[in-house]
Amino acid sequence: MTEISLLRQRLLDDLAERGTLSDPWQEAFAALSRHQFIPDTIWEDSTGELMPLRRADNPERWLEAAYALDAVITQVDDGHPTGPDDRGRYITSSASQPDVVALMLTALDAQHGMRVLEIGTGTGYHAALLAHRLGAQNVTSMEIDPTLAEHARTALAATGYPVTVITGDGAQGYPPHAPYDRIIATTAVHQVPYPWVAQTRPGGKILAPWANHYHNGALVCLTVQADGTAQGRIVGDVAFMELREQRFRATIDDAECEETTARHSHTSVAPSSVAGDYDASLAIGMKVPHCAPIYVSAQHYPDHCARLWFADPITKSWANLLHQPDTCTYPVHQSGPRNLWDEIETAYHWWLDAGRPGPHRWHITITPDAQQVTLTETSTPVGVTP
Protein backbone atom coordinates (compact mmCIF):
# COMPACT_ATOMS: atom_id res chain seq x y z
CA MET A 1 0.00 0.00 0.00
CA THR A 2 1.14 3.55 -0.69
CA GLU A 3 1.67 6.05 2.11
CA ILE A 4 -1.57 7.80 1.20
CA SER A 5 -3.48 4.52 1.19
CA LEU A 6 -2.09 3.70 4.63
CA LEU A 7 -3.05 7.11 5.99
CA ARG A 8 -6.54 6.86 4.51
CA GLN A 9 -7.02 3.41 6.00
CA ARG A 10 -5.78 4.63 9.37
CA LEU A 11 -8.36 7.40 9.27
CA LEU A 12 -11.12 4.90 8.48
CA ASP A 13 -9.96 2.66 11.32
CA ASP A 14 -9.91 5.60 13.74
CA LEU A 15 -13.44 6.58 12.74
CA ALA A 16 -14.63 2.99 13.13
CA GLU A 17 -13.04 2.80 16.58
CA ARG A 18 -14.85 5.96 17.64
CA GLY A 19 -18.13 4.59 16.35
CA THR A 20 -19.02 7.75 14.42
CA LEU A 21 -18.98 6.29 10.90
CA SER A 22 -22.36 4.77 10.06
CA ASP A 23 -22.83 2.12 7.36
CA PRO A 24 -24.42 4.39 4.72
CA TRP A 25 -21.37 6.67 4.71
CA GLN A 26 -18.50 4.18 4.97
CA GLU A 27 -18.22 3.79 1.20
CA ALA A 28 -17.99 7.56 0.66
CA PHE A 29 -15.26 8.00 3.26
CA ALA A 30 -13.34 5.05 1.82
CA ALA A 31 -13.56 6.41 -1.73
CA LEU A 32 -12.28 9.93 -1.04
CA SER A 33 -8.72 11.05 -0.37
CA ARG A 34 -8.95 13.92 2.10
CA HIS A 35 -5.59 15.44 1.15
CA GLN A 36 -6.89 16.20 -2.34
CA PHE A 37 -9.13 18.87 -0.80
CA ILE A 38 -6.61 20.41 1.62
CA PRO A 39 -4.87 23.57 0.31
CA ASP A 40 -1.08 23.65 0.06
CA THR A 41 -0.81 26.11 2.95
CA ILE A 42 -2.50 25.33 6.23
CA TRP A 43 -2.00 26.71 9.74
CA GLU A 44 -1.14 25.14 13.08
CA ASP A 45 -2.11 26.54 16.47
CA SER A 46 1.22 26.77 18.26
CA THR A 47 1.30 28.36 21.73
CA GLY A 48 -1.43 30.82 20.83
CA GLU A 49 -0.06 31.68 17.39
CA LEU A 50 -1.42 30.44 14.08
CA MET A 51 1.70 29.38 12.22
CA PRO A 52 1.66 28.52 8.49
CA LEU A 53 2.61 25.02 7.39
CA ARG A 54 3.39 24.84 3.69
CA ARG A 55 3.25 21.58 1.81
CA ALA A 56 6.35 22.48 -0.16
CA ASP A 57 8.35 23.05 3.03
CA ASN A 58 7.29 19.92 4.93
CA PRO A 59 5.25 17.50 2.78
CA GLU A 60 5.31 14.68 5.34
CA ARG A 61 3.95 16.82 8.16
CA TRP A 62 1.39 18.40 5.85
CA LEU A 63 0.16 14.96 4.74
CA GLU A 64 -0.07 13.73 8.33
CA ALA A 65 -2.21 16.76 9.18
CA ALA A 66 -4.48 16.06 6.21
CA TYR A 67 -5.36 12.60 7.56
CA ALA A 68 -5.40 13.30 11.28
CA LEU A 69 -8.63 13.18 13.27
CA ASP A 70 -8.23 16.88 13.94
CA ALA A 71 -9.62 19.88 12.12
CA VAL A 72 -7.22 21.44 9.61
CA ILE A 73 -6.99 25.23 9.63
CA THR A 74 -7.22 26.27 5.99
CA GLN A 75 -7.68 30.04 6.26
CA VAL A 76 -6.88 32.77 8.76
CA ASP A 77 -8.07 36.37 8.97
CA ASP A 78 -10.43 35.96 6.01
CA GLY A 79 -7.53 35.17 3.72
CA HIS A 80 -5.28 38.06 4.72
CA PRO A 81 -2.96 36.96 7.57
CA THR A 82 -2.39 39.88 9.94
CA GLY A 83 0.84 38.65 11.53
CA PRO A 84 4.43 38.52 10.25
CA ASP A 85 5.40 35.62 7.99
CA ASP A 86 1.73 34.85 7.26
CA ARG A 87 0.91 34.19 10.89
CA GLY A 88 -2.76 34.50 11.69
CA ARG A 89 -4.87 35.93 14.47
CA TYR A 90 -8.30 34.41 13.83
CA ILE A 91 -9.26 31.08 12.29
CA THR A 92 -11.77 31.82 9.53
CA SER A 93 -12.04 28.48 7.73
CA SER A 94 -11.06 24.89 8.39
CA ALA A 95 -11.60 21.33 7.26
CA SER A 96 -13.76 19.90 10.04
CA GLN A 97 -12.73 16.94 12.18
CA PRO A 98 -13.56 13.78 10.22
CA ASP A 99 -15.49 12.29 13.15
CA VAL A 100 -17.61 15.46 13.36
CA VAL A 101 -18.26 15.25 9.61
CA ALA A 102 -19.34 11.62 10.02
CA LEU A 103 -21.58 12.52 12.96
CA MET A 104 -23.30 15.29 11.04
CA LEU A 105 -23.84 13.26 7.88
CA THR A 106 -25.43 10.50 9.94
CA ALA A 107 -27.69 13.02 11.71
CA LEU A 108 -28.66 14.57 8.36
CA ASP A 109 -30.33 11.29 7.36
CA ALA A 110 -30.12 12.07 3.65
CA GLN A 111 -31.44 9.33 1.39
CA HIS A 112 -30.75 8.56 -2.26
CA GLY A 113 -32.45 11.01 -4.60
CA MET A 114 -32.72 13.80 -2.05
CA ARG A 115 -31.67 17.33 -2.94
CA VAL A 116 -29.25 18.91 -0.44
CA LEU A 117 -28.05 22.46 0.06
CA GLU A 118 -24.78 22.82 1.95
CA ILE A 119 -23.94 26.14 3.61
CA GLY A 120 -20.19 26.63 3.86
CA THR A 121 -18.29 24.74 1.15
CA GLY A 122 -14.86 25.22 2.69
CA THR A 123 -12.44 22.77 1.07
CA GLY A 124 -15.18 20.88 -0.80
CA TYR A 125 -14.53 17.58 1.03
CA HIS A 126 -17.90 17.56 2.76
CA ALA A 127 -19.69 18.31 -0.52
CA ALA A 128 -17.80 15.47 -2.19
CA LEU A 129 -18.95 13.01 0.48
CA LEU A 130 -22.53 14.11 -0.11
CA ALA A 131 -22.09 13.86 -3.87
CA HIS A 132 -20.62 10.37 -3.69
CA ARG A 133 -23.75 9.05 -2.01
CA LEU A 134 -26.46 11.29 -3.44
CA GLY A 135 -25.05 12.24 -6.83
CA ALA A 136 -23.36 15.54 -7.68
CA GLN A 137 -26.49 16.74 -9.47
CA ASN A 138 -28.38 16.64 -6.14
CA VAL A 139 -25.90 18.73 -4.17
CA THR A 140 -25.60 22.52 -4.17
CA SER A 141 -23.00 24.18 -1.96
CA MET A 142 -22.58 27.85 -1.01
CA GLU A 143 -19.39 29.61 0.03
CA ILE A 144 -19.15 33.32 0.79
CA ASP A 145 -15.39 33.57 0.27
CA PRO A 146 -14.49 33.66 -3.46
CA THR A 147 -11.02 32.18 -2.94
CA LEU A 148 -12.34 29.26 -0.91
CA ALA A 149 -15.14 28.70 -3.40
CA GLU A 150 -12.74 28.53 -6.33
CA HIS A 151 -10.44 26.12 -4.46
CA ALA A 152 -13.41 23.86 -3.73
CA ARG A 153 -14.62 23.93 -7.34
CA THR A 154 -11.17 22.93 -8.56
CA ALA A 155 -10.84 20.11 -6.01
CA LEU A 156 -14.34 18.80 -6.70
CA ALA A 157 -13.81 18.80 -10.45
CA ALA A 158 -10.41 17.13 -10.13
CA THR A 159 -11.83 14.32 -8.00
CA GLY A 160 -14.85 13.69 -10.22
CA TYR A 161 -17.57 15.38 -8.16
CA PRO A 162 -18.80 18.38 -10.17
CA VAL A 163 -20.97 19.83 -7.42
CA THR A 164 -22.53 23.22 -8.11
CA VAL A 165 -20.62 25.64 -5.89
CA ILE A 166 -22.20 29.08 -5.58
CA THR A 167 -20.20 32.05 -4.37
CA GLY A 168 -22.60 33.99 -2.18
CA ASP A 169 -24.07 34.63 1.24
CA GLY A 170 -25.22 31.29 2.60
CA ALA A 171 -27.63 32.99 4.99
CA GLN A 172 -29.84 33.71 1.97
CA GLY A 173 -29.82 30.12 0.73
CA TYR A 174 -30.04 29.47 -3.00
CA PRO A 175 -33.63 29.75 -4.33
CA PRO A 176 -32.93 28.61 -7.94
CA HIS A 177 -32.37 25.00 -6.81
CA ALA A 178 -35.06 24.96 -4.10
CA PRO A 179 -36.97 23.23 -2.66
CA TYR A 180 -34.45 21.09 -0.80
CA ASP A 181 -35.01 17.90 1.14
CA ARG A 182 -32.11 18.69 3.43
CA ILE A 183 -30.03 21.76 4.32
CA ILE A 184 -26.80 21.26 6.21
CA ALA A 185 -24.56 24.03 7.51
CA THR A 186 -20.88 23.72 8.33
CA THR A 187 -20.85 27.09 10.05
CA ALA A 188 -22.45 28.00 13.37
CA VAL A 189 -25.47 30.29 13.55
CA HIS A 190 -26.88 32.26 16.46
CA GLN A 191 -30.18 32.45 14.63
CA VAL A 192 -31.26 30.03 11.93
CA PRO A 193 -31.89 32.16 8.81
CA TYR A 194 -35.51 31.95 7.73
CA PRO A 195 -34.61 31.57 4.01
CA TRP A 196 -33.35 28.08 4.91
CA VAL A 197 -36.80 27.23 6.22
CA ALA A 198 -38.56 28.77 3.22
CA GLN A 199 -36.37 26.80 0.80
CA THR A 200 -36.88 23.41 2.49
CA ARG A 201 -39.92 21.33 1.57
CA PRO A 202 -42.42 20.47 4.34
CA GLY A 203 -41.09 17.44 6.16
CA GLY A 204 -37.54 18.27 5.14
CA LYS A 205 -34.77 18.83 7.67
CA ILE A 206 -32.23 21.51 8.51
CA LEU A 207 -29.07 20.48 10.36
CA ALA A 208 -26.84 23.26 11.68
CA PRO A 209 -24.29 23.99 14.39
CA TRP A 210 -26.02 26.42 16.71
CA ALA A 211 -24.46 28.81 19.18
CA ASN A 212 -25.29 31.65 21.46
CA HIS A 213 -22.81 34.38 22.34
CA TYR A 214 -21.78 32.57 25.51
CA HIS A 215 -21.77 28.96 24.33
CA ASN A 216 -20.65 27.43 21.03
CA GLY A 217 -21.24 23.70 20.93
CA ALA A 218 -24.71 22.56 19.88
CA LEU A 219 -25.97 20.78 16.79
CA VAL A 220 -29.64 21.36 16.05
CA CYS A 221 -31.94 19.39 13.78
CA LEU A 222 -35.11 21.15 12.66
CA THR A 223 -38.06 19.74 10.74
CA VAL A 224 -39.91 22.13 8.44
CA GLN A 225 -43.67 22.22 9.02
CA ALA A 226 -46.49 22.73 6.52
CA ASP A 227 -47.25 26.13 8.07
CA GLY A 228 -43.84 27.50 7.08
CA THR A 229 -42.21 27.18 10.49
CA ALA A 230 -39.42 24.84 11.58
CA GLN A 231 -39.17 23.06 14.91
CA GLY A 232 -36.50 20.91 16.48
CA ARG A 233 -33.99 20.17 19.19
CA ILE A 234 -30.30 19.89 19.99
CA VAL A 235 -29.02 16.51 18.78
CA GLY A 236 -25.26 16.75 19.28
CA ASP A 237 -22.24 18.62 20.59
CA VAL A 238 -20.20 20.35 17.88
CA ALA A 239 -18.43 23.70 17.72
CA PHE A 240 -17.94 25.61 14.46
CA MET A 241 -16.90 29.07 13.37
CA GLU A 242 -19.79 31.45 13.04
CA LEU A 243 -21.62 32.45 9.89
CA ARG A 244 -19.83 35.62 8.79
CA GLU A 245 -22.85 37.89 9.07
CA GLN A 246 -23.50 36.63 12.61
CA ARG A 247 -19.95 36.80 13.99
CA PHE A 248 -19.55 37.94 17.57
CA ARG A 249 -15.98 38.60 18.68
CA ALA A 250 -15.11 39.76 22.15
CA THR A 251 -11.58 40.56 23.34
CA ILE A 252 -9.96 41.77 26.52
CA ASP A 253 -7.76 44.88 26.48
CA ASP A 254 -5.72 45.21 29.68
CA ALA A 255 -5.49 48.96 29.17
CA GLU A 256 -9.27 49.33 29.12
CA CYS A 257 -10.15 46.65 31.69
CA GLU A 258 -8.67 48.25 34.80
CA GLU A 259 -9.61 46.30 37.91
CA THR A 260 -8.77 49.06 40.39
CA THR A 261 -11.53 51.31 39.03
CA ALA A 262 -14.12 48.55 38.57
CA ARG A 263 -16.96 47.63 40.90
CA HIS A 264 -15.72 44.97 43.33
CA SER A 265 -17.59 42.14 45.05
CA HIS A 266 -17.30 38.42 45.87
CA THR A 267 -19.20 35.29 44.87
CA SER A 268 -19.35 31.68 46.00
CA VAL A 269 -19.96 30.47 42.44
CA ALA A 270 -16.77 28.91 41.07
CA PRO A 271 -15.51 29.76 37.56
CA SER A 272 -15.80 26.11 36.53
CA SER A 273 -19.51 26.14 37.40
CA VAL A 274 -20.35 28.78 34.79
CA ALA A 275 -17.76 27.92 32.15
CA GLY A 276 -16.81 24.28 32.56
CA ASP A 277 -20.28 22.74 32.66
CA TYR A 278 -21.80 22.23 29.19
CA ASP A 279 -25.40 22.30 30.34
CA ALA A 280 -24.93 25.34 32.56
CA SER A 281 -23.07 27.40 29.96
CA LEU A 282 -25.69 26.60 27.32
CA ALA A 283 -28.43 27.82 29.66
CA ILE A 284 -26.51 30.93 30.72
CA GLY A 285 -26.11 31.88 27.09
CA MET A 286 -29.88 31.61 26.61
CA LYS A 287 -30.45 34.14 29.39
CA VAL A 288 -27.45 36.49 29.00
CA PRO A 289 -27.14 37.81 25.42
CA HIS A 290 -24.14 39.58 23.90
CA CYS A 291 -21.69 38.18 26.44
CA ALA A 292 -18.67 35.98 25.75
CA PRO A 293 -16.43 34.21 28.30
CA ILE A 294 -12.64 34.46 27.90
CA TYR A 295 -10.23 32.47 30.07
CA VAL A 296 -6.75 33.89 30.75
CA SER A 297 -4.27 31.69 32.61
CA ALA A 298 -2.49 32.66 35.84
CA GLN A 299 0.90 33.13 34.17
CA HIS A 300 -0.30 36.39 32.64
CA TYR A 301 -0.87 38.09 36.00
CA PRO A 302 1.50 39.20 38.77
CA ASP A 303 -0.82 37.81 41.47
CA HIS A 304 -0.71 34.38 39.78
CA CYS A 305 -4.51 34.13 39.71
CA ALA A 306 -6.23 32.98 36.55
CA ARG A 307 -9.20 35.03 35.44
CA LEU A 308 -12.42 34.16 33.73
CA TRP A 309 -13.44 37.28 31.82
CA PHE A 310 -16.84 38.15 30.40
CA ALA A 311 -17.12 40.79 27.70
CA ASP A 312 -19.85 42.59 25.80
CA PRO A 313 -18.22 44.52 22.93
CA ILE A 314 -21.49 46.29 22.15
CA THR A 315 -21.84 48.15 25.46
CA LYS A 316 -18.13 47.89 26.40
CA SER A 317 -19.15 46.14 29.61
CA TRP A 318 -16.87 43.55 31.17
CA ALA A 319 -16.48 41.48 34.30
CA ASN A 320 -14.01 38.98 35.64
CA LEU A 321 -13.89 36.24 38.20
CA LEU A 322 -10.55 35.48 39.86
CA HIS A 323 -9.72 31.85 40.35
CA GLN A 324 -7.96 31.52 43.67
CA PRO A 325 -7.13 27.93 44.66
CA ASP A 326 -8.29 26.50 47.98
CA THR A 327 -11.04 29.03 48.51
CA CYS A 328 -14.83 29.10 48.58
CA THR A 329 -15.23 32.73 47.54
CA TYR A 330 -13.98 34.43 44.42
CA PRO A 331 -13.28 38.14 43.83
CA VAL A 332 -15.39 39.75 41.12
CA HIS A 333 -14.78 42.95 39.14
CA GLN A 334 -17.39 44.58 36.90
CA SER A 335 -17.33 47.64 34.70
CA GLY A 336 -19.60 49.29 32.16
CA PRO A 337 -23.36 49.84 31.98
CA ARG A 338 -24.09 46.13 32.43
CA ASN A 339 -23.28 44.13 35.55
CA LEU A 340 -22.36 41.09 33.52
CA TRP A 341 -21.42 38.89 36.44
CA ASP A 342 -24.69 39.63 38.22
CA GLU A 343 -26.57 38.59 35.06
CA ILE A 344 -24.51 35.40 34.74
CA GLU A 345 -24.91 34.45 38.40
CA THR A 346 -28.67 35.02 38.20
CA ALA A 347 -28.88 32.86 35.07
CA TYR A 348 -26.82 30.13 36.74
CA HIS A 349 -29.15 29.98 39.74
CA TRP A 350 -32.14 29.98 37.38
CA TRP A 351 -30.65 26.91 35.70
CA LEU A 352 -30.15 25.20 39.06
CA ASP A 353 -33.73 25.97 40.11
CA ALA A 354 -35.01 24.60 36.79
CA GLY A 355 -33.47 21.22 37.61
CA ARG A 356 -30.21 21.60 35.68
CA PRO A 357 -31.80 21.06 32.25
CA GLY A 358 -29.59 19.46 29.61
CA PRO A 359 -29.53 20.08 25.86
CA HIS A 360 -32.41 17.66 25.15
CA ARG A 361 -34.78 19.94 27.09
CA TRP A 362 -34.46 22.89 24.71
CA HIS A 363 -37.00 23.25 21.90
CA ILE A 364 -36.35 25.66 19.02
CA THR A 365 -38.98 27.18 16.73
CA ILE A 366 -38.16 29.28 13.67
CA THR A 367 -40.86 31.52 12.20
CA PRO A 368 -40.64 34.19 9.48
CA ASP A 369 -40.22 36.82 12.20
CA ALA A 370 -38.34 35.24 15.08
CA GLN A 371 -36.46 32.37 16.68
CA GLN A 372 -38.01 31.14 19.91
CA VAL A 373 -36.26 28.88 22.40
CA THR A 374 -38.42 27.07 24.96
CA LEU A 375 -37.50 24.90 27.90
CA THR A 376 -39.72 21.85 27.53
CA GLU A 377 -41.58 20.08 30.33
CA THR A 378 -42.10 23.46 31.92
CA SER A 379 -43.25 25.37 28.79
CA THR A 380 -41.04 28.22 29.84
CA PRO A 381 -40.19 30.64 26.99
CA VAL A 382 -36.54 31.55 27.40
CA GLY A 383 -36.06 33.98 24.58
CA VAL A 384 -37.33 35.23 21.26
CA THR A 385 -34.83 36.57 18.75
CA PRO A 386 -36.40 38.82 16.11
Question: Is residue 168 within 8 Å of residue 156, measured between CB atoms?
Answer: no
The DSSP H or E segment spanning 281 is: helix 278-287
Question: Pick the catalytic residue: 93, 96, 273, 317?
Answer: 96
| 328 close to 340: Cβ distance less than 8 angstroms | no
SS3 136: helix
Instruction: State residue 211 phi and psi, 5-degree precision.
Output: -140, 155
Q: For residue 204, give the amino acid letter.
A: G
Helices (H) and strands (E) in the chain, counts: 10, 19
* N- to C-terminal Cα separation, the chain: 56
Residue 227 has, within 13 A of its CA and on its CB side, a CA count of 6
Give the chain's radius of gyration (CA, Å).
Answer: 22
**Omega prior to 179 cis, within 30 of 0:** yes
Cα–Cα distance, 157 to 114 (Å, whole number): 21
What are the strands, taking DSSP E only, across 101-246? 116-119, 139-143, 164-167, 180-185, 200-211, 216-224, 230-236
Cα distances (Å, whole numbers) of residue 70 to 77, 177, 265, 369: 20, 33, 41, 38
Residue 96 falls in the annotated catalytic set: yes
**Residue 327 dihedral angles phi and psi, to the nearest 5°:** -145, 160
Contact between 210 and 218 under an 8 Å Cβ cutoff? The reply is yes
Contact between 143 and 165 under an 8 Å Cβ cutoff? The reply is yes
- Amino acid identity of 193? P
Catalytic residues: 96
